[in-house]
Amino acid sequence: MHPSVSASPSAETASRRQVVVITGASSGIGRAAALRFAQDGADLVLAARGTEALAYVAAECERQGARAIAVPTDVTDAQAQRRLAERAIERFGGIDVWINNVGVGAVGAFDQTPVEAHRRVIETNLIGHINGAHAVVPHFRARGRGTLINMASVGGWVPAPYAAAYIASKFGVRGFSESLRAELSALPGVHVCEVYPTFVDTPGAQHGANYTGHRLRPAPPLLDTRRVADALVALARRPRPTVSIGSVAWPGRLAHAVAPNLVGRVTRWAADRAFSHADGAPVTDGNLFAPSQGHAVTGGYRAQQAPVTVPLAAAVLGAAGLACWWAWRGLARR
Show Cβ contacts of residue 55 under 8 Å, excluding neighbours closer than 6 positions: 70
Residue type, 132: G
Query: What is the C-alpha to C-alpha distance for residues 67 and 43, in angstroms, rounded to an integer?
Result: 5
Task: Note whether 285 and 214 are within 8 A (CB).
Answer: no
The 3-state DSSP class for residue 239 equals: coil
Query: What is the C-alpha to C-alpha distance for residues 77 and 124, in angstroms, rounded to an integer?
Result: 9
Beta strands in the chain (DSSP E): 19-23, 43-48, 67-72, 97-100, 106-107, 146-151, 190-197, 209-210, 242-245
Task: Note whether 38 and 59 are within 8 A (CB).
Answer: no
Sign of CA dihedral 11, 17, 18, 19: negative
In order of 61, 145, 185, 194, the CA distances from 40 in angstroms are 11, 20, 28, 21
In order of 51, 213, 215, 240, 283, the CA distances from 108 in angstroms are 29, 8, 11, 35, 10
Query: What is the C-alpha to C-alpha distance for residues 32 and 255, in angstroms, rounded to an integer?
Result: 31
State the catalytic residue, choosing from 166, 196, 211, 301: 166
Does the annotation mark 166 as catalytic?
yes
Show Cβ contacts of residue 283 under 8 Å, excluding neighbours closer than 6 positions: 210, 211, 213
The 10 Å Cβ neighbour count of residue 168 is: 18
Task: Note whether 38 and 44 are within 8 A (CB).
Answer: yes
Could you give the residue numbers annotated as active site?
Answer: 166
